């Protein structure tokens, strides 16, 4: 499979004078596109290949970021219960269970989770950024939506770096942003 055909890697610029919500969403969407480019189009062996000295795999990254999207957006932002398979998920098993998933399952899970997150973020305004999240099952005071989005973007930024190194090792793919249609 070709990476461009497998996952959406388009980066839509926010315009010349975006508001804060627009910039936060642009940064998140750009990081998602970079991630999709780095992890897309791989076969089962490539997705499950560990990258010593770490035991991390690209498939584990895909499944982990699908979980993070579900936790941060579906649960925390909307208060909606997690969708399957996250409704019965055991902590940290996404890293190892990904090896048993097909590329279609991994990519489909990530795409579906991102689609649910995008639906929840539709119409987000600058004024929405100050409101507290709906549910916060973790320790501490619930953050506002702004901090939640920054945290989700940071999670992508961290793992795009991993995916970048892993992908270069697998097939030599390098670069910062995916090629965009003219």
Span 14-27, pLDDT tens digits: 888 889 999 999 99
Over range 55-61, report the average pLDDT: 96
Other CB atoms within 10 A of residue 106 CB = 23
Domain holding 143, by residue range, is: 3-171
- Is residue 52 situated within a structural domain? yes
CB 25 within 8 A of CB 121: yes
Span 122-151, pLDDT tens digits: 999 999 999 999 988 888 899 999 999 999
- Is residue 121 situated within a structural domain? yes
- Give pLDDT, residue 6: 60
Winning range, highest mean pLDDT, from 69-78, 83-92, 158-167 = 158-167
Is residue 177 over pLDDT 50?
Answer: yes
- Give pLDDT, residue 23: 96
CB 60 within 8 A of CB 43: no
Per the DSSP assignment, residues forming a β-bridge with 144 are: 132
Span 19-51, pLDDT tens digits: 999 999 999 999 999 999 999 999 999 999 999
CB 145 within 8 A of CB 24: no
Instruction: Tell me which DSSP letter residue 100 carries.
Output: G
Count the domains in the chain.
1
Is residue 1 over pLDDT 50?
Answer: no
- Give pLDDT, residue 63: 97
CATH number for 123: 1.20.120.450
What is the C-alpha to C-alpha distance for residues 45 and 159, in angstroms, rounded to an integer? 20
- Is residue 181 situated within a structural domain? no
Predicted TM-score (pTM) of this structure: 0.91
Is residue 87 over pLDDT 60?
Answer: yes
Mean pLDDT of the chain: 91
Q: For residue 119, report the phi and psi dihedrals to the nearest 5 degrees.
A: -65, -40
- Is residue 66 situated within a structural domain? yes
pLDDT bucket at 4, cuts 50 / 70 / 90: very low
What is the C-alpha to C-alpha distance for residues 79 and 99, in angstroms, rounded to an integer? 30
Other CB atoms within 10 A of residue 155 CB = 18
Q: End-to-end alpha-carbon separation of the chain, Å?
A: 22
Is residue 5 over pLDDT 50?
Answer: no
- Is residue 16 situated within a structural domain? yes
Between the CA of residue 155 and those of 15, 16, 65, 69, 181, what are the distances in Å? 25, 26, 8, 10, 27
What is the C-alpha to C-alpha distance for residues 99 and 67, in angstroms, rounded to an integer? 16
- Is residue 179 situated within a structural domain? no
- Is residue 161 situated within a structural domain? yes
- Is residue 177 situated within a structural domain? no
């Amino acid at each position: 499979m070709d990476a461009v055909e497998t996952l959406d890697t388009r980066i839509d610029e926010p315009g010349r004078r975006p508001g804060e919500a627009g910039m936060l969403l642009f940064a998140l969407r750009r990081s998602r596109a970079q991630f999709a480019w780095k992890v897309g189009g791989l076969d089962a062996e490539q997705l499950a290949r560990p990258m010593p000295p770490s035991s991390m795999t690209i498939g584990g990254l895909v499944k982990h970021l699908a979980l993070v999207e579900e936790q941060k957006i579906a649960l925390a932002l909307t208060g909606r219960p997690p969708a399957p398979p996250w409704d019965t998920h055991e902590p940290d098993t996404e890293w190892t269970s990904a090896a048993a998933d097909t590329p279609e399952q991994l990519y489909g899970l990530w795409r579906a989770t991102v689609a649910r997150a995008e639906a929840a973020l539709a119409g987000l305004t600058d004024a929405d950024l100050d409101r507290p999240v709906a549910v916060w099952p973790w320790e501490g005071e619930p953050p506002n939506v702004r901090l939640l989005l920054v945290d989700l973007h940071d999670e992508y930024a961290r793992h795009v770096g991993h995916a970048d190194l892993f992908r270069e090792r697998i097939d030599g793919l390098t670069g910062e942003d995916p090629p965009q249609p003219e």
